[in-house]
C-alpha cells in the first residue's frame, strides 16, 4: 500500500508531497453523476456498496494518495434524531431547528455502530478494496459546525440564531455542544474500529467567530474530541475554513495536521503555526479553471512555501467544485507528484 500520506501526517520524511482533494469523490466526476442520476444523495450515503464505489472513483481516476469516505458531515445529526433533507440547489434542511432546552433534551447520543452501521459497513468494504492502494480517511463535522446547521435549520449567511444562543443562553449552547462532542467521539471511534486509517474533522463555519469566541465556545470541545481520538492511534486532521484570524488558537487543538483554506498564504500560516506542525492545503478550488501551465505555477508556489513546515499534504483550500474539469484535477495531482519530489 502507498502509505506516503500517513507518513506525512506524522511529519516523517517522504519521497514526495502527497495529495488528496476535499470532496474528491463527487459531483464533478461523470462516473458519480451516472450513479447519482437515479438516487437521492442520502440514499447513496446509506448504501455501502455504492458509497464505497464512489469513494474509490477518484483514487483510480485522479491518482491521489488517499481516499476519503463518501458521506456527509450531517449524518450524525440525523442519527441524533433530527429530520434531514437535501434539497436541490438549496442544500441541507433541518425542519425543526434547535432553539430551546426541550429540543436539546430530545436529542440522543447515538450508538454509532448500530445507528450509523451503513458507515461502518462502507469502511469495511473499502479497507478490503484499498489494501493494495492508498489509506482511507474517515471524517465528521466538528461540534460547532454541526451546531450551526441544527440551530439555523440549514446554511446561514450571518449565523444569527447560533450567535444569539451563544451570547444569550450559553448554558443551552454548551449543553448542545456537549451532546455533539460525545456523538462525534463515538462516531469517529467507530470509523477507526471499522478500519479508517486517518480522521479529518471539518469545522467549516468556525471562521465566522472572533478569536475570543472561538477560544471560549469551540476550542475546548475540539480538544476533547482529539484527546479522546488520540487513544485510537490514527492521525487527526483539523480543517477550519476562514482560519486566518484564529490560527493561534487552532494550533492548540492537538491535531496532528492543520488544514487551511486558500484565503491565507501558506507561508503566513506556517509562521503562525510554527515549523513543528504538519500543514494541509491550500490551493483555491477555482484555480482548477486555469490552464495546466498556470495550475503548475500555483502548485509550485504552494509546494515551495510548504517546505518550511514539519510536513506538508497538498490539498485544495476547500472542496472541489462541481463544475471542475476532470482533466484539470488530474493535471493538479500530476503536478504535485512531479514538482513535490524530494530528490
213-227 pLDDT, tens per residue?
A: 999 999 999 999 999
Residues 6+ apart with CB under 8 A from 326: 28, 29, 30, 61
Catalytic position from the list 36, 99, 127, 298:
36
Residue 36 annotated to the active site = yes
The pLDDT tens digits of the residues spanning 277-320 come to 999 999 999 999 999 999 999 999 999 999 999 999 999 999 99
Over residues 329-334, the mean pLDDT reads: 98
Per-residue model confidence (pLDDT) at position 91: 86
pLDDT at 209 over 80: yes
Catalytic position from the list 23, 28, 203, 339:
23
Over residues 250-260, the mean pLDDT reads: 97
Catalytic position from the list 28, 65, 72, 242:
72
Over residues 89-107, the mean pLDDT reads: 94
DSSP label of 89 = T
CB burial of 115-146 (b: ≥16 within 10 Å; e: otherwise) equals: bbeebbbbbebbbebbeebbbbbbbbbbbbbb
At residue 89 the predicted structure's pLDDT band, cuts being 50, 70 and 90, is confident
pLDDT at 343 over 80: no
Per-residue model confidence (pLDDT) at position 1: 85
Q: What is the mean pLDDT of the chain?
A: 97
Domain 4-339: which topology?
TIM Barrel (3.20.20)
Catalytic position from the list 16, 28, 149, 238:
149
Over residues 45-51, the mean pLDDT reads: 97
Per-residue model confidence (pLDDT) at position 38: 86
pLDDT at 237 over 80: yes
Residues 6+ apart with CB under 8 A from 269: 243, 244, 247, 258, 260, 279, 281, 282
Residue 27 annotated to the active site = yes
Closest CA to 23 of 43, 41, 2: 41
Q: Between 49 and 38, name the one with better pLDDT.
A: 49
Residue 23 annotated to the active site = yes
Residue 121 annotated to the active site = no
DSSP bridge pairs for 202: 141, 239
Per-residue model confidence (pLDDT) at position 68: 98
DSSP bridge pairs for 198: 137
The fraction of the chain above a pLDDT of 90, given in percent, is: 96
The Cα–Cα gap between 182 and 128 comes to 29
Catalytic position from the list 3, 7, 27, 298:
27
End-to-end CA distance of the chain: 21
Residue 149 annotated to the active site = yes
pLDDT at 72 over 80: yes
Domain boundaries, the chain: 4-339
pTM of the model: 0.97
The pLDDT tens digits of the residues spanning 118-167 come to 999 999 999 999 989 999 999 999 999 999 999 999 999 999 999 999 99
Amino acid at each position: 500500500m502507498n502509505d506516503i500520506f500517513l507518513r506525512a501526517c506524522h511529519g516523517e520524511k517522504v519521497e514526495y508531497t502527497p495529495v488528496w482533494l476535499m470532496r474528491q469523490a463527487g459531483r464533478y466526476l461523470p462516473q458519480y453523476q451516472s450513479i447519482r442520476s437515479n438516487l437521492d444523495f442520502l440514499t447513496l450515503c446509506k448504501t455501502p456498496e455504492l458509497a464505497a464505489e464512489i469513494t474509490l472513483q477518484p483514487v483510480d481516476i485522479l491518482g491521489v494518495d488517499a481516499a476519503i469516505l463518501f458521506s456527509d458531515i450531517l449524518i450524525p445529526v440525523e442519527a441524533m434524531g433530527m429530520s434531514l433533507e437535501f434539497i436541490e440547489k438549496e442544500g441541507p434542511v433541518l425542519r425543526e431547528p434547535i432553539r430551546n432546552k426541550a429540543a436539546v433534551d430530545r436529542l440522543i447520543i447515538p450508538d454509532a455502530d448500530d445507528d450509523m452501521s451503513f458507515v461502518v459497513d462502507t469502511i469495511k468494504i473499502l479497507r478490503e478494496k484499498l489494501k493494495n492502494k492508498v489509506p482511507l480517511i474517515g471524517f465528521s463535522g466538528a461540534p460547532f459546525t454541526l451546531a450551526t446547521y441544527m440551530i439555523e435549520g440549514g446554511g446561514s449567511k450571518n449565523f444569527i440564531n447560533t450567535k444569539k444562543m451563544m451570547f444569550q443562553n450559553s448554558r443551552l449552547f454548551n449543553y448542545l455542544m456537549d451532546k455533539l462532542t460525545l456523538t462525534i467521539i463515538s462516531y469517529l471511534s467507530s470509523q477507526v474500529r471499522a478500519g479508517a486509517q486517518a480522521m479529518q474533522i471539518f469545522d467549516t463555519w468556525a471562521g465566522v467567530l472572533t478569536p475570543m469566541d472561538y477560544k471560549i465556545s469551540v476550542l475546548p470541545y475540539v480538544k476533547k474530541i482529539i484527546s479522546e481520538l488520540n487513544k485510537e492511534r490514527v492521525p487527526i486532521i483539523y480543517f477550519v475554513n476562514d482560519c486566518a484570524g484564529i490560527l493561534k488558537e487552532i494550533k492548540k487543538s492537538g491535531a496532528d495536521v492543520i488544514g487551511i483554506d486558500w484565503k491565507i498564504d501558506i507561508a503566513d500560516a506556517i509562521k503562525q503555526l510554527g515549523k513543528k506542525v504538519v500543514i494541509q492545503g491550500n490551493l483555491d478550488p477555482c484555480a482548477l479553471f486555469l490552464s495546466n501551465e498556470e495550475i503548475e505555477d500555483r502548485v509550485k508556489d504552494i509546494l515551495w512555501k510548504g517546505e518550511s513546515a514539519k510536513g506538508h499534504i497538498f490539498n485544495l483550500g476547500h472542496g472541489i467544485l462541481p463544475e471542475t474539469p476532470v482533466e484539470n484535477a488530474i493535471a493538479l495531482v500530476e503536478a504535485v507528484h512531479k514538482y513535490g519530489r524530494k530528490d
